[in-house]
Structure 1
Amino acid sequence: MTIEITASNVYDLAPADLVQDDRVAGRMYTDPEIFELEMTRIFEHTWIWVAHESELPNPGSFKSTYVGRQPVIVSRDRKGAIHTLVNRCRHRGASLCEKRTGEANGFTCPYHAWSYSLDGKLRGIPYPEGYEGVIDKSELSLKRLRTESYGGMVFATLDEDIEPLEEFLGDVKLWIDRFMKQGGGYPIKVLGTHQFTFGGNWKIQLENTTDGYHFPIVHRSWMASVDAETADMMSFMTDPEAVTHDLGNGHSVAQMVPEHSDLDADDGTEKLQDRFDELIADLRAANLSDSAIRKVVLAMHGTGFNLNLFPNVSMSAAFFRVLRPISVDRTVIEHVAIGPDGPDEVVGPVNRARLRVHEHFQGPFGFGTPDDAEGWDRVQRGAQGAPEMPILVNRGAAREKPSPEGWTTSHVTDETGMRAAYAQWKQMMSDD
Structure 2
Amino acid sequence: MNGNMTLRKKMLAIFIPLVLISGATISVVSYFITKADLEAALEENMTTTSAELTEATERRFVGHERIGDSLSSLLSSEGSNLEKEQMTNVLEDIIWNNEDTLGAGIWYEPYAYEEDTEFFGPYVYKEEEEAVYTEAYEEPDYDYPSWEWYEAGMASDGDAVWTEPYDDEETGITMLTTSVPFTNESGETIGVVTADIDLSTLQEHIGTSDMNGSGYAFMSDEAGQYIAHPDRDKVMTANVSDDGEFGESFANEEEEIRTMSYDGQDHLVYQQTLPTTGWTLSLAVPESELYAPLNQLLTQLIIYTIVIAGIGSIIIFIFSGRLTRHINTLKEKMGQVSEGDLNVNTSIDSNDEIGVLGSQFNKMTEDMNELLQSMRTTVFQLRDSSEQLSATSEETTASSQDINKAIRDVAESATS
Same fold (TM over 0.5): no
Higher relative contact order (CA closer than 8 Å, sequence separation 6+) = 1
TM-score tier, shorter chain, comes to under 0.3
What TM-score do the two structures reach when normalised by structure 1?
0.20
What TM-score do the two structures reach when normalised by structure 2?
0.20
Higher alpha-carbon Rg: 2
Determine which structure has the larger strand proportion and give its number: 1
Determine which structure has the larger helix proportion and give its number: 2
